[in-house]
Structure 1
Amino acid sequence: MEIHYSTKEDIDEIFRLYRIATDFQKAKFIVHWPEFERSMIETEINEKRQWKIVIDNRIACIWAITFNDPQIWEQRNDDPAVYIHRIATNPEFRGQNLVQQITEWAKQYALTNKKKFIRMDTVGNNPGLIAYYIKNGFDFLGLYKLENTEGLPAHYHNATVSLFQIELIDR
């Protein structure tokens, strides 16, 4: 298993994994991801904020990061944090606890970049997903109604989000 930046050559596979994840969300939940803008993913790749886990020369999982997320985290955005977004796992690699691998990677990445927190959000109240992220080391901070969703992807509009974080202790 290796973790690398995603590249422009990965874009078709990234969108395939997003479609699979969205179809799964549609089957299980009320809220699901919209179709993301290609330019958004290209920007993340160019800014080295789109990541992938590669197993046997195949993309097993993808996610994006940012160091700022003010519309979701509001006043907490002032804290030094890495924000993880849009984890999508290739179905052929499910069950390999890739979120735990991302979590361990994020701890090192955050410390290297002098960040104190690793944060994530999910839209809605999904008890199974909340339990899963807690199992992977995140603290569940609760449900919050977003105040300003202008410019955010459509699934955040009129949404309540579940917020999660890991507070890092310098080693």
Structure 2
Amino acid sequence: MGKPRNVAVFIYEQVDALDVTGPYDVFAVSSNWGKDFYVYTVGERESPVHTVSGLAICPKYSFDNCPGPDILVVPGGLGARKEMNNEAITAWVQKMTASAEHVLSVCTGALLLAKADVLDGLQITTNRRAIDLLREVAPTSAKMVKDVRYVDNGQIILSAGVTAGMDAALHIVRRLLGSERAHNSASMLEYHWRESDFSGLVSKDSLQKDEKLLIRKAGLADLEAMQQLYREAARWIHSSTGFFQWPEAAFTKEYLTSFVEEQEVFAAFLKEELVGCFSIQWQYEEIWGDQFHDNAGYVHRLAVSRKYKGQGFGSRILAWAEHYIRYRGKAWLRLDCMADNPALNRYYLSQGMTFRGRFDSQGWSANLYERKIKREEEDLSHE
């Protein structure tokens, strides 16, 4: 069993009670009795704060002694309008964001993220009554999204007001631990999860065109399905080419566990069925040699279920990956393909990929491809 993720819920004077307790309870209920999440409150100091409705809450930790959060929740409330000018708070939020896996703002908690200078180039949203205020303090590069429960930028997720924070928190649970865990948690809370009412890295219209294809971060709960998918792909590579470029026996639970824990791995689902899997890497890879540059995301270990051959899922996954890479501030999508598989190479060329060279290693070879990401802004806000 791995170490549970630390979930820090920040509290301050005049915070909204449900902005705090809603996401807090989502992560606590989803934690599998503390095995997957360690949830705690943190304040600027270890002294009680009072919510807008007068509830007193004593933070478990202060800035000085709190564990480093893997997930940081920044709630809203009337006090956010004051605390967004508190440099100690915004500096702490900025520092925690730099190392956190995910950051979730609820309601006017977005004001604190804006003043912490972490929203450059992102989709943003907040309580509909605070849209104009957020627009005033957010960077001009941020894109305001109205009439959604939450927006997902990858690391940073922002929600609308109050109960929308629970929707966004359940979305994070789904990304990390799977859809079943998120739905079970919503059921235990007797909460109607508005899971589809969001703006993510692809638009609602695209999701509908993709038959509700859901792409999210892979978690340990997905390992069995991932193992079946990759072993199926390995068998297909061998049967179609005679090569063992992906040895079936290599996809052990141990290998896939380290794959999920050490890389950004994404899983694509169609009605709860895993239909594709891939990772996106950003660091130097020997395979690219002198051609490496850090203005790209490298799509790696891309596999699509043979059950859905010819139905366009590979193209949809590449389009999603391109959106994600663009929102991470990169300009190129890169991948490699087994050099001695003509059909697969023709496919990537048909997807607008440009051949950049060949890498030869002992027993296997790969062709290198990349394509420039289009810079035109897509209409994600439906405004």
TM-score normalized by the length of structure 1:
0.83
Aligned to 2:35: none
2:306, 2:243 → 1: CA distance?
A: 20
Structure 1 stretches of at least 4 aligned residues deviating more than 4 Å after TM superposition? none
Aligned to 1:164: 369
Corresponding letter in the other structure for 1:116: A
Cα deviation per residue 1:75-105 (whole Å; 9 max; x = unaligned)? 2223311111122222332222111111211
Q: Secondary structure at the match of 1:52?
A: strand
- 1:121 equivalenced with 2:336 (yes/no): yes
Aligned to 2:326: 111
Q: Secondary structure at the match of 1:78?
A: coil
**Aligned mate of 2:269, from 41, 45, 54:** 54
Corresponding letter in the other structure for 2:333: I
1:68, 1:90 → 2: CA distance?
A: 27
Q: Which moved more, 1:47-56 or 1:126-135?
A: 47-56
Cα deviation per residue 1:1-56 (whole Å; 9 max; x = unaligned)? 11111110110111111111111111111333021354442233235611111111
Q: Is contact 1:118-1:167 (8 Å) kept?
A: yes
- The 5 A counterparts of 1:17-166 are 17-32=229-244, 33-34=246-247, 35-36=250-251, 38-47=253-262, 49-146=264-361, 157-166=362-371
Q: Secondary structure at the match of 1:100?
A: helix
Q: Secondary structure at the match of 2:257?
A: helix
Q: Is contact 1:41-1:50 (8 Å) kept?
A: no
**Aligned mate of 1:13, from 211, 225, 244:** 225
Aligned to 1:153: none
1:109, 1:60 → 2: CA distance?
A: 19
Structure 1: gaps spanning 5 or more residues: 147-156
2:315, 2:346 → 1: CA distance?
A: 13
Aligned to 1:154: none
Q: Which moved more, 1:99-108 or 1:120-129?
A: 120-129
Structure 2: gaps spanning 5 or more residues: 1-212, 377-383
Q: Which moved more, 1:111-120 or 1:135-144?
A: 135-144
Q: Choose 1 or 2 for highest CA Rg.
A: 2
2:292, 2:306 → 1: CA distance?
A: 33
Q: Is contact 1:5-1:48 (8 Å) kept?
A: no
Q: Which has the higher strand share?
A: 1
* CA deviation after TM superposition for structure 1 residue 117, in Å: 1.1
Q: Secondary structure at the match of 1:79?
A: coil
Q: 1:77 to 1:141 in 2, by over 3 A?
A: closer
Q: Aligned residue pairs: how many?
A: 161
User: Cα RMSD between the aligned structures?
Assistant: 1.9
1:158, 1:92 → 2: CA distance?
A: 29
2:301, 2:278 → 1: CA distance?
A: 5
Q: Is contact 1:65-1:82 (8 Å) kept?
A: yes
Q: Secondary structure at the match of 1:23?
A: helix
